[in-house]
Structure 1
Amino acid sequence: MGEVFAGRYELVDPIGRGGVGAVWRAWDHRRRRYVAAKVLQQSDAHTLLRFVREQALRIEHPHVLAPASWAADDDKVLFTMDLVSGGSLAHVIGDYGPLPPRFVCLLLDQLLSGLSTVHAEGVVHRDIKPANILMEATGTGRPHLRLSDFGIAMRKGEPRLTETNYVVGTPGYFAPEQMMGAEPDFPADLFAVGLVALYLLQGRKPDAKALIEYFAAHGTPGAPQGVPEPLWQVLAGLLQPDPHARFRTATGARKALTAAVEMLPDAGPDDEQVEVFDQIGPLPAGFGPDGPETPADGPQAPAQDVGGTSPSPQPSQTPYAPQGPGRQPYASQGGAGQQPYVPTPSMSETGSFHLAPPPAHPAPLPQAAQPQAPGPLPAHAGAPPVAQDLAHATTAAVPYGAPPTRAYTAGHLQDPGSAVLQPTPVRRPGPSPKVAVPVLVVALICFAVGIWALTQA
């Protein structure tokens, strides 16, 4: 069995990593279902504040993957989300390369739909990129996209957590005004959506810097190869370097996209059908579709290692490979004998970066003392490099099934000089005799005076 976090979430196997934590497939013992759990690796003040902001988001939308619950255990924290098994847009591009324009328009419509709800809540995402846009494993059916990872999102007007002359995000997906140090705003997210669209249409990361320079020097360029003109007009409205010339709202961009789709040619019979595969893989030993498998002789606590902690669960050892008949993955084309594409979780590129141009003589910023990060869990012998890397996620070593406290029952008190302690007399409620006797005497006197007065009358 795996480790249990806060007595509720049993960590099964790691499925990804981010800049400040690892993402695990976990079993929720309360709701009896599998979830995705993001466990923080560090506990410095900035990381914890970002965690508080992210887990506080409760955005309900079919194309938004926001946190659903959270838990804390000692110095570690996690929050959970729905488990999305189709990987990210980066996995889809790795399988197929450039995607058909109509398929891209469907994905963009879903992305803009979710983003409009996020913006309606006053939240700027600030880190829209292919790795943060997840896909349900729908196979050849209609694709279903989920916008995720609100780790650096913030509401407009909230204080920023970065220092002066720093910008937060992922290189290559910054809007020009972000690089100039402007306050986060909705058009910056829309600029990133335009870059994601180019990535899907061209099968590679666009050169945002060259694109911005061309827009500034020559105006809007012509449609790139493979991008239909009606669709390019929408993307050009997302990619304008001047935020005031860009689409101001996701709803406006979505309306323009709907009009452009009507002018696109229909899909031909030779167009390849895009299939979204399951990228997580099978459950490891000891887990089934209905949760942890209990041995016939009853539940057992996980074995303890030398250090006294439970061993971390083994990640799945089964690599992913496309299942379609005769399907050659995009990343492996170009020669015989090449290995099939195996997507591997990678460290997020999200982080803080210096704004350009830097000051001539920047003064060193004082660094606050940070607590020592917990050491990594021991890597398992025989595990592949990716599994060993993912095994470094810091999680609580709490064996499942162990009660949080010991039951305690007080024993019978005994007098050392006798077999059984004599019961102590119990004092009855009421006033003490010193108070009750005088009151009673006064009452009797008053009663006698009253009787005498009646007889005289």
Structure 2
Amino acid sequence: MGEVFAGRYELVDPIGRGGVGAVWRAWDQRRRRYVAAKVLQQRDAHTLLRFVREQALRIDHPHVLAPASWAADDDKVLFTMDLVGGGSFAHLTGDYGPLPPRYVCVLLDQLLAGLAAVHAEGVVHRDIKPANILLEATGTGRPHVRLSDFGIALTKGEPRLTEADFVMGTPGYFAPEQMRGADPDFPADLFAVGLVALYLVSGHKPDAEALVRMFEEQGVPPAPADVPEPLWQVVATLLQPDPEDRFRTATGARKALTGAVELLPEPDLDDEAIEIFDQLGPLPEGYGPDGPQRKARRSHRKPPAADASEASGAPAMSDTGSFQLPPPLPPSEPAPAPPAGYGTPPTPPTPPGLPPASSATPPTPPVPSGLPPTPSGTPPVLPPAPAGSARPAAEPRAPGFGAAEGYGAPARPLAHGPDPRGVLGTAPTPPYHQPPAHPPAPPHHIATPTPTPTPLWPPTPSGARPDPRSPAEPSPSPEPPEQPSGATGWRRGPSTRTAVVILVAAALCYAVGAWALFTGG
């Protein structure tokens, strides 16, 4: 109870059982109403084929209860139909016994109307009996019959699923030709309707074999004591042992029944009123007329039981294949150490001739003798270094060669050999006139000082070819104009001659357009 089938049908409670499956009251989550769901129990190929045949029937008639939709979930299949709550003919005779003849004629007329619609689709029902003829819960109003259970129905011309010496149906409702192995046909269904008529009038199951012998020996026997003669003439024609002597169609039987009703006596006012009750019973706890009152499970399989890991707070694997992340650590607890190979980027190699750079924050240089001490955390102010002196041990990196604090990007390793940018300083002007590419500016909240270039190589001897990579002799090319403050992506504009030519051409175009406008008007 409460299991959801194929993400749509919530099985509520079982209401019946058939030859190949159980019938459940189910809640259709898409159409928002209760339906009857027939769930297949057996899984052999023979039963599955019959199930497929039954769910393929689509007969739209007010007196036919045919499948409306179907669904499959793993190794289970079901099809749904309207939920009919008034029970069957078997419930009706069980409550009231023999029924009044006029009331029986109303039930038979609706049954024959539904059977005519089934035969019009070329389908032979093959299992007409009181338990398969349902009733809506109409109370004391006009009854409403629904012909159901097409589990062994067969379309004429389709191959049979049983051997020639086997017969499908319910014992006691077989036509004589079925017992002889004849192919299923419409007159066999009409013979079963005659037996159902006797069942309703008498209140008990008739003896089909004794009736057949009586017809074969005496022809049409006299009417039983509880069956009026006009009604018996119609029922006797339905019960003829020879199919050629019966009504050929259900519509023909309806016409004969309509004439017989006119000859029946009027009902007695003292007769008990027939009331068709709701045989389904109340809904289980948690369900109401408008559907379930609680959230159903997502699958027809039971969820796994909770284990000890859930009680301890450990992350549990979800049923969709994803993982539940653990909660964040409290601020007082240190974060777990990252695995090997992740986290802080490695320290880049140091070029030859430079002191090793620390990956951490540069240490505060020692205070030379003679200087007053500085407050804690404030670096001392050092005097300017004389020309040609050695580079300080710790110097901030130039933009583009490290990661801004707080971003976690790994520092770019330095190449070995002479530094083409002038000892981590400002790059020299290239030999062509294109402005040099400017490195990306660091975040505005980080102040990156530009160190003073300090050459590490001796001057080039006279007569020797200068090293183009050396910063000692900058290129004689003119310096590009200074980039405006705060600008990004700045570039040189066109020359004065080019700008004059463009302006003259634009003026000519404007003059020609104005002339064409005035002359055309």
TM-score using structure 1 length: 0.67
Cα distance in 1 between the residues matched to 2:303 and 2:121: 47
Cα distance in 2 between the residues matched to 1:407 and 1:290: 35
- Label 1:300 to 1:221 Cα distance change in 2 as closer, same or farther (>3 A): closer
Q: How does 1:34-113 map to 2 (within 5 A)?
A: 34-113=34-113
Contact 1:2 1:302 in 2 (8 A): no
Q: Which has the larger radius of gyration?
A: 2
Contact 2:101 2:228 in 1 (8 A): yes
Aligned to 2:152: 152
Aligned to 1:256: 256
Q: Percent identity?
A: 75
Q: What is the Cα deviation at residue 66 of structure 1?
A: 0.2
Q: How does 1:294-309 map to 2 (within 5 A)?
A: 294=294, 299=295, 301=297, 308=304
Cα distance in 2 between the residues matched to 1:421 and 1:228: 103
Give 2:268's aligned amino acid. Answer: G
Contact 1:415 1:421 in 2 (8 A): no
SS at match of 2:15: strand
Cα distance in 2 between the residues matched to 1:159 and 1:113: 27
- Label 1:125 to 1:304 Cα distance change in 2 as closer, same or farther (>3 A): closer
Q: What is the Cα deviation at residue 168 of structure 1?
A: 0.3
Q: What is the Cα deviation at residue 164 of structure 1?
A: 3.0
Cα distance in 1 between the residues matched to 2:296 and 2:68: 30
- Label 1:110 to 1:420 Cα distance change in 2 as closer, same or farther (>3 A): farther
Q: What is the Cα deviation at residue 125 of structure 1?
A: 0.2
Cα distance in 1 between the residues matched to 2:17 and 2:152: 15
Cα distance in 2 between the residues matched to 1:121 and 1:301: 40
Give 2:31's aligned amino acid. Answer: R
Aligned to 1:282: 282
Cα distance in 1 between the residues matched to 2:299 and 2:99: 48
Cα distance in 1 between the residues matched to 2:31 and 2:319: 20
**Structure 2: 5+ residue stretches without partners:** 306-317, 325-339, 346-407, 412-521
- Alignment RMSD: 2.6
Cα distance in 2 between the residues matched to 1:287 and 1:119: 39
Cα distance in 2 between the residues matched to 1:156 and 1:420: 78
- Label 1:300 to 1:202 Cα distance change in 2 as closer, same or farther (>3 A): closer
Give 1:259's aligned amino acid. Answer: G
- Label 1:305 to 1:248 Cα distance change in 2 as closer, same or farther (>3 A): closer
TM-score using structure 2 length: 0.59
Give 1:98's aligned amino acid. Answer: P
SS at match of 2:177: helix
CA deviations on 1:77-133 (whole Å, 9 max, x unpaired) are: 000000000000000000000000000000000000000010000000000000000
Aligned to 1:234: 234
Cα distance in 1 between the residues matched to 2:410 and 2:133: 72
Cα distance in 2 between the residues matched to 1:22 and 1:68: 17
- Label 1:404 to 1:421 Cα distance change in 2 as closer, same or farther (>3 A): farther
CA deviations on 1:270-313 (whole Å, 9 max, x unpaired) are: 1121110110000000101111103xxxx47499999959xxxx
Q: How does 1:198-347 map to 2 (within 5 A)?
A: 198-294=198-294, 299=295, 301=297, 308=304
Q: What is the Cα deviation at residue 226 of structure 1?
A: 1.1
Aligned to 1:373: none
Contact 2:105 2:261 in 1 (8 A): yes
Contact 2:3 2:301 in 1 (8 A): no
Give 1:85's aligned amino acid. Answer: G
Give 2:71's aligned amino acid. Answer: A
- Label 1:415 to 1:122 Cα distance change in 2 as closer, same or farther (>3 A): farther
Aligned to 2:371: none
Aligned length: 322
- Label 1:404 to 1:62 Cα distance change in 2 as closer, same or farther (>3 A): farther
SS at match of 1:266: coil
Q: What is the Cα deviation at residue 415 of structure 1?
A: 8.2
1:194 partnered with 2:194: yes
Cα distance in 2 between the residues matched to 1:115 and 1:407: 54
Cα distance in 2 between the residues matched to 1:90 and 1:257: 22
Aligned to 2:131: 131
